Amino acid sequence: MFVISDDQGYGDLACTGNPIIKTPNIDHLASESSGLSDYHVAPTCSPTRSALLTGHWTNRTGVWHTIMGRSMLRENEVTVGKMFSDAGYQTGMFGKWHLGDNYPYRPEDRGFTEVYRHGGGGIGQTPDVWDNAYFDGAYFHNGKIVPAEGFCTDVFFAQANEFISKCAKEKKPFFAYISTNAPHGPLHCPQKYMDMYPDQSDNIAAFYGMITNIDDNVGKTRKLIKDLGIEDDTIFVFTTDNGTASGAKIYNAGMRAGKGSPYDGGHRVPFFLHWPAGGITKQHDVDELTHAVDIVPTLLEMAGVEKPENVKFDGVSIAALLDPSKDVDWPERFVISDSQRVRDPIKWRSSSVMSQKYRLINGKELYEIAVDPGQKNNVANEHPEVVATMREFYEKWWDELEPTFSQTTEIYLGHPDHPVVNLTAHDWIQKNLSAVASRIDPRS
């Protein structure tokens, strides 16, 4: 059971110190979970999802942007949905996919047997249903457009809860991936949630209201799992996909910057995992450096699912770290987060090379994160040997990944599994919009 929200940062929860936001259900989850306090993702939506679902660096998967044809997960990638489906699990995907809207990139092409989602990266974007809205919208249910009633987050959780109930009653193991588009903009939520924040601006009231609505749904789903009698055997995860998009001015847990940034505020996010049968029922803080690429190998180990022979993960299982009964001697490691948002990756662009102690930003700035969490004091000149070591790691990482950048993500035309294709500018690979526009006859 995996819940991930969109554009909610580490500081957008009461349990991480936010003095305003109301998140009692996630706070309660955190109080009986192992939590990762130094967990990192990509600074934007699609890249995080590609790493999270495959265990591979985002740039290896072909997903280093959110548009321009660079958000489609390459066909040769194997998702966690496929791995669990092959192991006999029912697999459901609900909400935001943002890794391709045509064959062979849709979730139903990647191992998910039940799919209920919007198109593109957000409700109302070009690959989505025309003129779609957050309230009473229409969504793709196993490939067919169906109308819905109510607020989008409520709808996605309701569909997921139907799936969970059905699996539980049929005594079938399941993997449910609930990926909300909230609190990504545009900022809309039911009025009762806006009213919970009367002293805030409309934007913050809506942003926090969307998060509190997610929190309510997390609470309802956890109650359902308990009522179904499957709580002990259910691994329940809550996390987010990048740094805060709207909440940094209110509270950002002392971090610098937010969504899209190479500084920690762009990619350090919350992660809580609860699993009674695995002995994970009390608050246990894991402060070792971890990354989204670690999640697939971790879930496979916990569930006893075999890794496909032809798959080599970039991450490692952190199951032992999450187990509060184990005292783990964790080795020093480096991980990387970067934000490309261009047609083709550019070396060192908006990058953070991370160790337990340091952050190397854009290959030049060095911060000792334990004593400088706000990343204000550049100590690169004082530690040239650290800079050299971290740069060497990045150079090798880049040299390994660079040959994969030219691999393509063609959209199939006339495939029997998807005979009607929707081609939109969202997937149009281009150098820049102005150059393309200059070549288009305005009369066409």
- The structure tokens listed for 136 are 């009473």
Instruction: Return the pLDDT at 434.
Output: 41
Predicted local confidence at residue 430, as pLDDT: 80
- Give pLDDT tens digits for 75-113: 999 999 999 999 999 999 999 999 999 999 999 999 999
Average pLDDT over residues 62-82: 97
What does the pLDDT read at residue 34?
Answer: 98
Domains of the chain: 2-322 (3.40.720.10), 335-406 (3.30.1120)
Alpha helices in 32-133 (DSSP H): 45-54, 58-61, 80-86
What digits encode the pLDDT tens for the residues 385-439? 999 999 999 999 999 999 999 998 999 999 999 999 999 999 998 875 443 333 3
For 169, the token pair is: 């009653």
Closest CA to 68 of 288, 265, 345, 332: 345
- Distance (Å, whole) CA 350 – CA 227: 46
- What value does the mean pLDDT take over residues 174-191? 98
DSSP states of 270-330: -EEEEBGGGTB-S-EEE-S-EEGGGHHHHHHHHHTPPPPTT---SS---HHHH-TT----P
**SS3 at position 365:** strand
So what's the pLDDT on residue 432?
A: 55
pLDDT in tens, 365-400: 999 999 999 999 999 999 999 999 999 999 999 999
Tracing tokens 């229409």 back to the chain, one arrives at 138
Q: What pLDDT is attached to residue 260?
A: 98
The whole-angstrom separation of Cα 177 and Cα 170 is: 19
* Other C-beta atoms lying within 10 Å of the C-beta of residue 178: 29
Section 3-21 average pLDDT: 98
Look at residue 363 and tell me whether its pLDDT is greater than 90.
yes
Please give the share of the chain, as a percent, with pLDDT higher than 70: 97
Residue 328 predicted with pLDDT over 80:
yes
Query: For residues 298 and 322, is the Cβ–Cβ distance under 8 A?
Result: yes
Report, as an integer, the average pLDDT of 239-264.
98
Q: For residue 34, what are the β-bridge partners?
A: 273, 284
| pLDDT score of 4 more than 70 | yes
pLDDT category, 192, cuts 50, 70, 90?
very high
- Report DSSP letters for 392-406, one per residue: HHHHHHHHHHGGGGG
Give the mean pLDDT of 289-308: 98
Q: Would you state the pLDDT for residue 444?
A: 30
Mean pLDDT over all residues of the chain? 96
What is the pLDDT at residue 443?
33
Q: Single out the residue of 56, 111, 115, 120 nearest to residue 89, CA to CA.
A: 111
263-282 per-position pLDDT tens digit: 999 999 999 999 999 999 99
- Tokens 């280093």 — which residue? 64
